[in-house]
Structure 1
Amino acid sequence: MTRITTPFSAATTANEVVDGLDLTGRRIVVTGAASGIGIETARSLVAAGADVTLAVRRPEQGEQAVADIRASTGAGGDTGSGTGTVRAAILDLEKRDTLQAFADAWQGPLDVLIDNAGVMATPETRTPEGWELQFSNNHLGHFALANALRDALVAGAQASGQPSRLVSLSSTGHHRSPVVFDDVMFERREYDPWAAYGQSKTANSLFAVGVTQRWADDGVLANAVHPGGIITPLQRHLPKQEMLDRGWIDEEGTPNPAFKSTQQGAATSVFVAVHPLVEGVGARYFEDVAEAEPFRDDAPGRGVKDYALDPEQSDRLWTLSEQLLA
């Protein structure tokens, strides 16, 4: 396969990605869209004409995000006015009843699902099912949501005549760990918040492979995305001292200039979600608004590791996910 290159770069913003694109009529769901790169992803899509649903955990945060996007874009609500439309709906990846309720309430076709929400490096936490939180939230929640919305995605492809797209936000954090199938939930090994995060981000990439393997014939393709380093609420579980030690912030809390802005962080998600250069493409991993190269030891922090795109690992993860959610 030829690697997808683009005229964009790590400094490209989401607004620049959609410049000149008309997304009128495209129906898109963005999870975790109340802040950070999620709200910027939604903002740029709405500005280009899309009808975007913000899937958020808290009603008040959803209302604030909707008001913010409408004020900056001139977007309308469900009835439509201005550019695109934007609305919010409740979805909590840690609560399976809200996942099903969100899917049951969805009406009509869906063109794009952007699995943006996530948590990072949390203290050891168990869900009511006993699952490790990061694997549950980052992977299993999105796995359940996508499967519940599968028919809507298929309908979107049928209505538009082009494949619907699923965007799964992975991370360079996947370099830290493959999916450790012998002890996914850290029941026998010592819990490490970064290993758990890395495992969940590998799972996000493998999920994109699995969706493409299983749903491509029905018109649904998926790709994984590394948005880049951005300071957002994702880091809320990290002690300030750890962020200082890593050089992410200074004593005043100002982010390292090497980090991307939230608009730059949203660019790769938006690119994979709607850009013509990704038409008909699935089971790949993107960073800095282009397809990533294979990981190399002499280029740390970049590239995709083989295990994150391995079809056999993806099959194993899909089977495990179905068993856990049965």
Structure 2
Amino acid sequence: DMADLLSVTGLVKKARDMFPNRKFDQLIQNAGILPTKHSLSPQGHEIAFAANVLGPHLLLRKMIDEEVLKEDGKVIFTAGDLYITLKGTGNVACTPDFTYLDRKGGEIAYCRSKLGVIWLFLQLRERFPSLHANLVHPGVVDSELVEGGSPAPKPLLISNEEGAQTTLILATECTENGAFYHNTMGKVIFSAKDPANNPQKGLELWQLVEKLIIGYL
């Protein structure tokens, strides 16, 4: 359960115990839930933040600290472009205390969390330059991400198999370190006005999640 920090620490321990003499070459951060109603993680954080942002961050940091991941390993973060819908609203943020009442609020929580993933990815590039880090938008996949189906129109959806292709390419091919790859547009560079291009917000989020996981490292 990526939303439960104790579960994440248990996963790293199990991986270390199973492969005591080996390190992982890659980590693909593909966790993602879109809640239909507000709920909290076992540690009391809003569930989309917990599962999509905080748990994956702890997983990566613990794998680094405990040398489960190779120093020059490849880390792929799954993002999405729905976060752009937050532009011009009061929701250009990623926090553990966001509250909402319905599915629409859950969609906003999801977008906030995916914006947070991008901010943390950009911070990671600077803090762990030995890692080979990429960000990927796999497409809008017709999956069970949300109960009742994706909010996107059916004609825009791709299958799970199609959605895996861009990530598989990044995992198996030589890619530019630190780059963002989109399933239809290729390499993407954030514009100056893009909500993702906000180093101060990224720094604040990094400091926040580091504080929240300190007792689990």
Band of TM-score, shorter chain: 0.7 to 0.9
Equivalent of residue 288 in structure 1, options 172, 179, 183: 183
Amino acid at match of 1:231: D
CA contact (8 A) 1:228 1:260 kept: yes
Equivalent of residue 125 in structure 1, options 36, 39, 43: 39
Counterpart for residue 199 of structure 2? 311
Counterpart for residue 175 of structure 1? 84
Amino acid at match of 1:247: P
TM-score, normalised by the number of residues in structure 2: 0.81
Amino acid at match of 1:288: N
Counterpart for residue 45 of structure 1? none
Counterpart for residue 72 of structure 1? none
Amino acid at match of 1:323: K
SS of equivalent residue, structure 1 residue 168: strand
Q: How many residues align?
A: 200
Structure 2 CA distance for partners of 1:223 and 1:310, relative to 1, 3 Å:
farther
| CA deviations over 1:186-216 (Å, ceiling 9, x no partner) | 25x7771111110000111112112211111
Structure 2 CA distance for partners of 1:221 and 1:310, relative to 1, 3 Å:
farther
Runs of at least 5 residues in structure 2 that lack an aligned partner in the other structure: none
CA contact (8 A) 2:84 2:194 kept: no
Residue 122 (structure 2) pairs with residue 233 (structure 1): no
CA contact (8 A) 2:5 2:43 kept: no
Counterpart for residue 204 of structure 1? 117
Equivalent of residue 165 in structure 1, options 71, 74, 82: 74
Structure 2 CA distance for partners of 1:121 and 1:94, relative to 1, 3 Å:
closer
Runs of at least 5 residues in structure 1 that lack an aligned partner in the other structure: 1-91, 158-162, 249-255, 296-303
Amino acid at match of 1:138: N
| CA deviations over 1:51-84 (Å, ceiling 9, x no partner) | xxxxxxxxxxxxxxxxxxxxxxxxxxxxxxxxxx
Computing the radius of gyration from Cα coordinates, the structure with the larger value is 1
- Distance across 2 between alignment mates of 1:264 and 1:305: 30
- Distance across 1 between alignment mates of 2:113 and 2:92: 7
- Distance across 1 between alignment mates of 2:76 and 2:204: 20
| CA deviations over 1:118-156 (Å, ceiling 9, x no partner) | 101431111233211001100000000001111232xx2
Equivalent of residue 152 in structure 1, options 59, 64, 68: 68
SS of equivalent residue, structure 2 residue 136: strand
- Distance across 1 between alignment mates of 2:60 and 2:193: 24
| CA deviations over 1:223-262 (Å, ceiling 9, x no partner) | 2211101101113x23x6x85xx532xxxxxxx3x42222
Equivalent of residue 274 in structure 1, options 172, 175, 191: 172
Structure 2 CA distance for partners of 1:129 and 1:179, relative to 1, 3 Å:
farther
SS of equivalent residue, structure 1 residue 201: helix
Cα displacement (A) at 1:305? 6.7
Amino acid at match of 1:166: V
CA contact (8 A) 1:167 1:208 kept: no
1:240-259 superposed matches below 5 A: 243=151, 247-248=153-154, 256=155, 258-259=156-157
- Distance across 2 between alignment mates of 1:168 and 1:233: 19
Give me the CA root mean square deviation: 2.5
Structure with higher RCO (Cα < 8 A, 6+ apart):
2
CA contact (8 A) 1:103 1:149 kept: yes
1:13-92 superposed matches below 5 A: 92=1
Counterpart for residue 103 of structure 1? 12
